[in-house]
């Protein structure tokens, strides 16, 4: 709830929600183009007017340590195999129509895949330059986190809203669930959910009727 000077976000990370709860798949151009330009222009002005602090010497240590862990892994599990498992799990259980049973299965599967990634992932290219093998493995770690956040958050919302369509809860519940979900990653790979009410402007939410 606090505006932090110097922190900028654009695209869906900014959570402006111009499309509401049901934007078309991968169609976030409005968020990117409009708010990307606004953020960029304001950021340039801010940098000219503000004395920038130097980064601490250990700013990149955590990322470098993760890169080294992946490069030196010897567990024999290829990133592409884990990526396929993740894709199959999300397609099967967290797709257009969902149920509690399906999403609970996805959460359990994703936890197992993430543990395999943390313990046993191995890449062929051990180099430090132009290493696409390393890049794809690191991206997989990010994708696994996002997949788990999606599944955990969806499982905790017992209603249908926008693109979140549950067969076991087909109705929208504005009284209880007209709110944003915030997901926080805690120690040992656990996630904590918090919620914030949706700020309504001129238009009240209505049921879509064709």
* The two three-digit tokens of residue 173, written as one number: 């519940």
Cα distances (angstroms) measured from residue 187 to each of 142, 143, 157, 184: 16, 18, 23, 10
Residue 176 pLDDT > 90: yes
Residue-averaged pLDDT of the chain: 91
pLDDT confidence of residue 20: 72
Q: Is residue 33 helix, strand or coil?
A: helix
> Looking at per-residue confidence, does 112 or 25 come out higher?
112
Q: How far is CA 4 from CA 9, 87, 200, in A?
A: 11, 36, 23
Q: What are phi and psi of 208, to 5 degrees?
A: -75, 130
Domains of the chain: 1-53 (no CATH), 58-197 (1.20.58.100)
Task: Quickly count helices (H) and strands (E) in the chain.
Answer: 6, 4
Q: Angle CA(185)–CA(190)–CA(193) in degrees, nearest 5?
A: 60
Which tokens belong to 183?
Answer: 């997901």
Residue 25's pLDDT band, with cuts at 50, 70 and 90, is low
Query: pLDDT by residue (tens digit) across 42-100?
Result: 999 999 999 988 989 899 999 999 999 999 999 999 999 999 999 999 999 999 899 99
Runs of H (alpha helix) within the chain:
29-49, 61-71, 79-93, 100-120, 132-155, 174-177
């Amino acid at each position: 709830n606090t505006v932090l000077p110097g922190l900028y976000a654009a695209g869906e990370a900014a959570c402006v929600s111009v499309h509401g709860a049901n934007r078309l798949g991968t169609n976030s151009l409005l968020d990117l183009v409009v708010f990307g330009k606004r953020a960029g222009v304001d950021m340039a002005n801010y940098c000219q007017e503000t004395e920038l602090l130097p980064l601490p010497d250990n700013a990149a240590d955590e990322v470098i340590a993760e890169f080294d862990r992946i490069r030196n892994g010897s567990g024999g599990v290829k990133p592409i195999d884990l990526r396929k498992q993740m894709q199959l799990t999300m397609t099967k259980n967290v797709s257009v129509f969902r149920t509690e049973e399906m999403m609970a299965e996805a959460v359990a599967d994703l936890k197992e895949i993430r543990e395999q990634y943390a313990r046993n992932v191995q890449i062929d290219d051990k180099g430090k330059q132009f290493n696409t093998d390393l890049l794809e493995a690191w991206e997989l770690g990010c994708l696994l986190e996002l997949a788990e956040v999606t599944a955990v958050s969806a499982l905790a919302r017992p209603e249908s809203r926008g693109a979140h369509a549950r067969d076991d809860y087909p109705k929208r519940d504005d009284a209880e669930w007209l709110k944003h979900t915030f997901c926080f990653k805690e120690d040992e790979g656990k996630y904590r959910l918090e919620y914030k009410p949706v700020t309504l402007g001129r238009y009240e939410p209505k049921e879509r009727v064709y």
